[in-house]
């Protein structure tokens, strides 16, 4: 039995012993009484009776153990021309000082603090400062619309908000303070204090005495020490992207979170103390929480905080510049970022000038990794490319090729195997187990491992209803997929990304995989739209690579033929349209549900999570079929409807 198989078997058959051993890597102020408290299913708790402080484990501990002069945080901002390094000792001092500033503003253990900041060091400092004094942070992606921010303020009921005068999106300044002021007016809950970091690019007008200048607050503060908290106390609340109306706040505890993330760094990502780890995400998303801030620092790594884009800041070589300059060992980003780089620089010309000898592995997650993007990245980098699958709710990977534990053979299109602790299964609609290779609902048998959500903020009933009711005894991921005869998991996308064509349920992910393999396609999306005869039919939207010589209508006809050949005539894909861009969230996920709603004639509002509203607005007439020119600016048009190929 290999190292992976042995670890997985132990984690499922004896989770108490498995995670009890993993917990030894964490500094406990009071050791836990029980590793797994299963006395009130489906509510499971990890490390009950234990006390610790997450900030102590992420910072103070490393200083005391001799890593004080090692870089802890590297801030690289091409949009401001700034590169700054903070050692563990420097970061500890800054966090302790800001923790004191929070306390001076009345924030105490158990209070909530909303963090509404761009990708600047103060975001990391604010999160760790909350953890230091036992406050619960709720990070809201910087630049979120005022109504969305107000909804989260009303739900979390924070004692304070930490913000900045502005963010920088590429070359565009985004004024945060007017958005914050509007949100505070809209919110029913009244916030006592706002601490505002003034950036030199834009000065914000403060509303005294409610608003306090960050520098003034820090200068007047006394450093605060680490406050012991229960392992089961909340560390943070993170609202799932796209929530409207009644927010859904994922809760993360302190103890299980620290144990799971520390274990994942060594066993999944293959990194240890002193290594440089870069998650090219945002602190507003779960990847930013887990793998920009907490996991690398809990491990004693150097973490990179990047304020920029994969392209345009200044070019498609930006990621390679950062990785080379800072000697990054592991780079973790989204497939969307790699596709954007591939679109701008398909031949890897910009890669050639950088020394990536320190780079060991590229990890990709956030959406399905199509085989074409996988092969391109592997070919360009000459390094292992590792797909993995997880969610905001789980906080760390559910399915992954465990590079640190035992590298396994890669199967492009699959994120590999269930991570130890996650008993991943595929169930049919009636709850019966699916056979090898049979598609169904991807679920995880309870109990979930440490680090996953124990509940939703102030809403146990909704937690059970949303995740635990459909298949009792299992966590419902909301994704569909299959597990092959060798135990590899194949994730085909959200279960609502299924087209029901004349009674045949077809995964749009399968069709996207075929389309993405075409050499002219940079990225794509397939959505199901209403059809009077068949109920639904699939429709493809594609973005072509730069410099493609073939006519768009020729490419589209080839794509229709490829899907017919590889999926079958039952797929009924008859329309593929070339577009300039696909609408995405700020975390890089394609907004398929919004496009599907528009195509079906519904009045779909612009989602608050969208990166560029103009992209979705420009697609509305295309999706509704009222505009014959899909991409007039690029000089290309749509596939000629049914004439692009024949379907069933």
DSSP states of 386-454 as a string? EEEE--TTTSS-SEE--TTT------TT--BEEPTT-EEEEE-TTSPBPPTT--EEEEEESSPPTTS-S
- 479-494 pLDDT, tens digit per residue, is 899 999 999 999 977 7
Q: Where are the beta strands (DSSP E) in 518-632?
A: 521-531, 535-544, 576-578
- Angle of helix 146-156 relative to helix 176-186, nearest 10 degrees? 50
CATH hierarchy code of domain 496-644: 3.30.300.30
| Segment 184-190 long-range contacts (CB within 8 Å, at least 24 positions apart) | 184/150, 184/153, 186/146, 186/147, 186/150, 187/150, 187/153, 187/154, 188/154, 189/153, 189/154, 189/157, 189/158
- 74-112 pLDDT, tens digit per residue, is 999 999 999 999 999 999 999 999 999 999 999 999 999
CB 577 within 8 A of CB 527: no
Least confident of 72-86, 326-340, 503-517: 503-517
Tokens of 559: 């794509």
Q: How many residues does the chain have?
A: 648
Inform me whether the pLDDT recorded for 324 exceeds 80.
yes
Least confident of 233-247, 268-282, 438-452, 485-499: 233-247
Q: What is the mean pLDDT of residues 177-202?
A: 96
CB 231 within 8 A of CB 255: yes
Q: What is the mean pLDDT of residues 17-33?
A: 98
CB 578 within 8 A of CB 636: yes
Q: What is the mean pLDDT of residues 370-384?
A: 94
| Segment 494-500 long-range contacts (CB within 8 Å, at least 24 positions apart) | 494/592, 494/593, 495/441, 496/593, 497/527, 497/528, 497/592, 498/528, 499/526, 499/528, 499/536, 499/537, 499/538, 500/528, 500/535, 500/536
Confidence of residue 606 (pLDDT cuts 50, 70, 90): confident
Tokens of 296: 């690398």
* Structure confidence at residue 588 (pLDDT): 77
* Structure confidence at residue 496 (pLDDT): 65
- For residues 536 and 575, what is the distance between their CA atoms, to the nearest angstrom? 13
Q: What is the mean pLDDT of residues 169-186?
A: 93
Inform me whether the pLDDT recorded for 474 exceeds 60.
yes
- For residues 487 and 491, what is the distance between their CA atoms, to the nearest angstrom? 13
Q: What is the mean pLDDT of residues 464-469?
A: 95
Q: What is the mean pLDDT of residues 324-351?
A: 94
- For residues 31 and 367, what is the distance between their CA atoms, to the nearest angstrom? 38
DSSP three-state, residue 73: strand
Inform me whether the pLDDT recorded for 531 exceeds 80.
no
- For residues 139 and 165, what is the distance between their CA atoms, to the nearest angstrom? 16
* Structure confidence at residue 383 (pLDDT): 96
Inform me whether the pLDDT recorded for 611 exceeds 70.
yes
Q: What is the mean pLDDT of residues 238-266?
A: 86
CB 587 within 8 A of CB 309: no
Spatial CA neighbour of 624 closest among 632, 636, 633, 616: 616
Inform me whether the pLDDT recorded for 409 exceeds 70.
yes
Least confident of 128-132, 145-149, 274-278: 145-149
Beta bridge partners of 34: 48
Confidence of residue 533 (pLDDT cuts 50, 70, 90): low
* Structure confidence at residue 602 (pLDDT): 82
Q: What is the mean pLDDT of the chain?
A: 91
Q: What is the mean pLDDT of residues 317-345?
A: 95
* Structure confidence at residue 504 (pLDDT): 58
Least confident of 114-128, 230-244, 321-335, 498-512: 498-512
* Structure confidence at residue 214 (pLDDT): 98
* Structure confidence at residue 505 (pLDDT): 59
The proportion of the chain whose per-residue pLDDT surpasses 70, expressed as a percent, equals: 92
Please give the class, per CATH, of domain 3-308+390-481. Answer: alpha beta
CB 299 within 8 A of CB 262: yes
Per-domain boundaries in the chain: 3-308+390-481, 496-644
The proportion of the chain whose per-residue pLDDT surpasses 90, expressed as a percent, equals: 75
The larger pLDDT score, comparing residue 86 to residue 643, is at 86
Instruction: Find how far residue 440's CA is from the centre of its chain.
Output: 24
Give the Cα-Cα-Cα angle 400, 123, 196 (nearest 5 degrees): 155
Inform me whether the pLDDT recorded for 202 exceeds 80.
yes
């Amino acid at each position: 039995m290999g190292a992976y198989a042995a670890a997985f078997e132990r984690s499922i058959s004896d989770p108490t012993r498995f995670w009890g051993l993993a917990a030894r890597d964490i500094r406990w102020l009071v050791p836990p009484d029980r590793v797994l408290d299963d006395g009130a299913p489906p509510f499971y708790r990890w490390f009950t009776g234990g006390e610790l402080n997450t900030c102590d484990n992420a910072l103070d501990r490393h200083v005391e153990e001799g890593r004080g002069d090692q870089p802890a945080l590297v801030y690289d901002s091409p949009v401001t021309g700034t590169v700054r390094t903070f050692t563990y000792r420097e970061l500890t001092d800054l966090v302790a000082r800001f923790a004191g500033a929070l306390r001076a503003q009345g924030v105490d253990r158990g209070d909530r603090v909303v963090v509404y900041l761009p990708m600047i060091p103060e975001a990391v400092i604010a999160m760790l400062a909350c953890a230091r004094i036992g406050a619960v942070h709720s990070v809201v992606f910087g630049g979120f619309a005022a109504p969305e921010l107000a909804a989260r303020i009303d739900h979390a009921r924070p004692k304070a908000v930490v913000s900045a005068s502005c963010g920088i999106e590429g070359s565009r300044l985004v004024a945060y303070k007017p958005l914050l002021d509007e949100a505070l007016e809209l919110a029913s809950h009244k916030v006592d204090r706002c601490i505002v970091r003034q950036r030199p690019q834009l000065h914000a007008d403060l509303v005294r005495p409610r608003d306090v200048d960050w520098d003034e607050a820090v200068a007047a503060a006394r450093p605060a020490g680490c406050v012991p908290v229960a392992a089961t106390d909340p560390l943070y609340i993170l609202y799932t992207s796209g929530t409207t109306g009644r927010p859904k706040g994922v809760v993360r505890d302190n103890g299980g979170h620290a144990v799971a993330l520390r274990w994942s760094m060594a066993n999944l990502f293959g990194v240890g103390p002193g290594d440089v780890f870069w998650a090219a995400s945002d602190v507003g998303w779960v990847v930013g929480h887990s793998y920009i801030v907490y996991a690398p620092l809990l491990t004693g790594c150097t973490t990179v905080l990047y304020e920029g884009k994969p392209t345009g800041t200044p070019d498609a070589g930006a990621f390679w510049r950062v990785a080379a300059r800072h000697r990054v060992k592991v780079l973790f980003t989204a497939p969307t970022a790699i596709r954007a780089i591939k679109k701008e620089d398909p031949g890897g010309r910009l890669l050639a000038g950088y020394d990536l000898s320190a780079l060991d592995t590229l990890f990709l997650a956030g959406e399905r990794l199509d085989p074409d993007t996988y092969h391109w990245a592997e070919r360009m980098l000459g390094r292992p490319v590792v797909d993995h699958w997880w969610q905001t709710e789980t906080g760390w990977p559910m399915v992954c090729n465990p590079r640190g534990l035992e590298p396994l053979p890669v199967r492009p299109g699959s994120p590999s195997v269930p991570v130890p602790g996650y008993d991943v299964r595929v169930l049919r609609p009636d709850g019966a187990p699916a056979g090898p290779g049979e598609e169904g609902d991807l679920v995880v048998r309870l109990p979930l491992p440490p680090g996953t959500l124990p509940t939703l903020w102030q809403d146990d009933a909704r937690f059970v209803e949303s995740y635990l009711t459909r298949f009792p005894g299992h966590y419902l991921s909301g994704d569909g997929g299959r597990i092959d005869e060798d135990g590899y998991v194949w994730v085909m996308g959200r279960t609502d990304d299924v087209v029901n064509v004349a009674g045949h349920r077809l995964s749009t992910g399968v069709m996207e995989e075929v389309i993405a393999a075409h050499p002219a396609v940079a990225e794509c999306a397939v959505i199901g739209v209403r059809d009077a005869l068949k109920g639904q039919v699939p429709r493809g939207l594609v973005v072509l690579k730069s410099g493609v010589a073939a006519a768009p209508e020729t490419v589209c006809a080839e794509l229709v033929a490829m899907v017919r050949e590889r999926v079958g005539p039952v797929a009924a894909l008859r329309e593929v349209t070339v577009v300039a861009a696909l609408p995405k969230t700020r975390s890089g996920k394609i907004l398929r549900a919004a496009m599907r709603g528009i195509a079906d004639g519904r009045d779909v509002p612009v989602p608050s999570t969208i990166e560029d509203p103009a992209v979705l607005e420009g697609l509305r007439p295309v999706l509704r079929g009222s505009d014959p020119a899909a991409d007039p600016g690029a000089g290309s048009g749509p596939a000629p409807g049914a004439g692009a190929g024949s379907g069933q």
